[in-house]
């Protein structure tokens, strides 16, 4: 009797694990987070937040079981100018000393089409958390140099930085377009 119970439990656990989809660790070296913001109402200035980290669970057969948990370090802001980076990391923008990370944690995922997911999640920037819905594209699968399966995801969305408590407006726009491309190594 006990043997049958154990076998039944193993079957349930294994079935659950299969239903969870594949887990990918975000590869900081081959993932990018880029933002653009208007400067002096004239041109767009682009910057990066290097080294995204996190975990993606992707289930192609059952997209609702997918999840995204991505973290960016505010200290990794890179706009190609040390002085401007220092200003951005300072208290009038990201305040990296007090709010060291920018995070996105999905709360629900819906399938939009064959390659796109509508993902709702909690976006935390500058210590302020807002629920946002973004469209994430599954850009492809492949194998890396080590033979590990890798999977790609990309999203572009826009936020108003004042919604996240960044109210410094001297010559810099409120609207920020954020582009994130993730490459995940299958665990």
Interface with other proteins, residue 82, by CB under 8 A: yes
Query: Closest Cα to residue 80, out of 53, 103, 49?
Result: 49
Q: Which residue from 36, 48, 73, 89 is in contact with other proteins, where contact means CB under 8 A?
A: 89
Interface with other proteins, residue 15, by CB under 8 A: no
Both structure tokens of 103 = 């995070």
Q: Which residue from 71, 95, 135, 156 is in contact with other proteins, where contact means CB under 8 A?
A: 95
Minimal distance in Å, beta carbon 46 to other proteins?
A: 15
Q: Which residue from 11, 13, 81, 131 is in contact with other proteins, where contact means CB under 8 A?
A: 81
**Helix, strand, coil percentages, rounded to 5, for the chain:** 20, 55, 30
3-class DSSP state of 16: helix
Q: Which residue from 168, 173, 181, 185 is in contact with other proteins, where contact means CB under 8 A?
A: 168
Which lies closer to other proteins via its Cβ, residue 5 or residue 170? 170
Torsion of CA 137, 139, 142, 144, to 10 degrees: -90
Interface with other proteins, residue 86, by CB under 8 A: yes
Interface with other proteins, residue 92, by CB under 8 A: yes
Interface with other proteins, residue 107, by CB under 8 A: no
Contact region with other proteins (CB under 8 A), list: 27-35, 52-60, 84-92, 112-120: 84-92
Per-residue DSSP letters for 95-144?
A: -TTT--EEEEEEEEEEE-SSSEEEEEEEEEETTEEEEEEEEEEEEEEEE-
Query: Closest Cα to residue 26, out of 134, 136, 120, 129?
Result: 136
DSSP lists the bridge partners of residue 104 as: 70, 123
Q: Which residue from 10, 167, 175, 187 is in contact with other proteins, where contact means CB under 8 A?
A: 167
Interface with other proteins, residue 162, by CB under 8 A: no
Q: Which residues in this chain contact other proteins in the complex, by CB under 8 A?
A: 81-87, 89-92, 95-98, 167-168, 170
């Amino acid at each position: 009797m006990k043997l049958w119970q154990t076998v039944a439990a193993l079957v349930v656990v294994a079935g659950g694990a299969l239903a969870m989809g594949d887990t990918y660790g975000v590869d900081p070296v081959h993932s990018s987070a880029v933002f653009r913001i208007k400067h002096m109402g004239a041109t767009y200035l682009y910057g990066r937040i290097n080294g995204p980290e996190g975990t993606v669970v992707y289930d192609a057969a059952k997209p609702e079981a997918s999840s995204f948990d991505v973290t960016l370090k505010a200290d990794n802001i890179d706009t190609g100018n040390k002085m401007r980076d220092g200003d951005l990391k300072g208290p009038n923008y990201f305040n990296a000393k007090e709010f060291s990370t920018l995070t996105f944690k999905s709360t629900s995922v819906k399938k939009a089409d064959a390659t796109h997911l509508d993902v709702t999640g909690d976006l935390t920037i500058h210590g302020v958390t807002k629920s946002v819905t973004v469209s994430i594209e599954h850009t492809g699968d492949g194998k890396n140099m080590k033979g590990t399966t890798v999977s790609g995801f990309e999203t572009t969305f826009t936020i108003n930085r004042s919604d996240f408590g960044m109210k410094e407006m001297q010559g810099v726009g409120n609207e920020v377009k954020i582009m994130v491309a993730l490459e995940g190594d299958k665990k």
